[in-house]
Chain A
Amino acid sequence: MTFFKQIKALVWKDLKSEFRTKEMLSSMLIFAFLVIVIFSFAFDPTDETLKEVFPGIIWVAFIFAGILGLNRSFVAEKQNNSIHGLMLCPADRSAIYFGKVITNLVLMLIMEAISLPIFIILFDYSFSGSILKLILVILLGTFGFVAIGTFLAALTANTRTSEVLLPIILFPVIVPLVIGAVESTGAIFIGEEMSEILPWLKVLGIYDLIFITVPFMLFDFVLEV
Chain B
Amino acid sequence: METFDKDNRYSNILGWLAFLVTSVALYMVFEYAPTERVMGHIQRLFYFHVAAAWIAFFAFFVVFVGSIIYLKKRSTFWDNIALASAEIGVAFTTIVLITGPIWARPIWNAWWTWDPRLTTTLILWFIYIAYIILRASADESEKKARFAAIFGIVGFVDVPIVFMSIRWWRTIHPQVIEGGGMNLAPTMVQTLLVSIAAFTFIYFYLLLRRVKVEVLKNQVKEMKEELRKLQYN
Contacts and interface: CB of A to CB of B under 8 A. Distances in A.
A206 interface: yes
B222 to A, nearest CB: 23
Contacts of B158: 172-173, 175-176
Interface of B: prevailing SS: helix
Contacts of A158: 138, 143, 147
A155 B157 contact: no
B165 A180 contact: yes
Interface centre among B71, B126, B134, B154 (most CB of A within 10 A): B154
B134 A155 contact: yes
Contact of B127 (A148, A172, A176, A203): A172
B168 interface: yes
A23 B71 CA distance: 37
Contacts of A224: 146
Nearest to B138: A159
Interface string B17-49: 000000000000000000000000000000000
A198 to B, nearest CB: 11
B134 A159 contact: yes
B89 to A, nearest CB: 14
A14 interface: no
B157 A176 contact: no
Given A155-B151, A158-B147, A218-B153, A169 B133 contact: yes
Given A161-B137, A183-B169, A218-B154, A175 B147 contact: no
Given A171-B126, A172-B123, A221-B146, A179 B157 contact: no
Contacts of A214: 153-154, 157
A169 B165 CA distance: 19
Contact of A218 (B150, B155, B166): B150
A159 B147 contact: yes
- How many B residues are at the interface, by size bracket? 20 to 34
Interface in B161-215: 161-162, 164-166, 168-169, 172
B130 interface: yes
B139 interface: yes
A148 B162 CA distance: 14
A21 to B, nearest CB: 29
Contacts of B166: 175-176, 179
B19 to A, nearest CB: 35
A89 interface: no
A92 to B, nearest CB: 18
B168 A203 contact: yes
Given A159-B139, A169-B151, A221-B150, A207 B161 contact: yes
Interface of A: 148, 151-152, 155-156, 158-161, 165, 168-169, 171-173, 175-176, 179-180, 183, 199-200, 203, 206-207, 210-211, 214-215, 218, 221-222, 224
Given A173-B158, A183-B169, 13 more contacts: A158-B138, A165-B134, A172-B155, A173-B127, A175-B158, A183-B172, A203-B168, A210-B157, A210-B161, A214-B153, A218-B71, A218-B150, A221-B146
Interface of B: 71, 123, 126-127, 130-131, 133-134, 137-139, 143, 146-147, 149-151, 153-155, 157-158, 161-162, 164-166, 168-169, 172
7 contacts: A172-B130, A173-B154, A175-B162, A176-B166, A183-B169, A218-B150, A221-B146
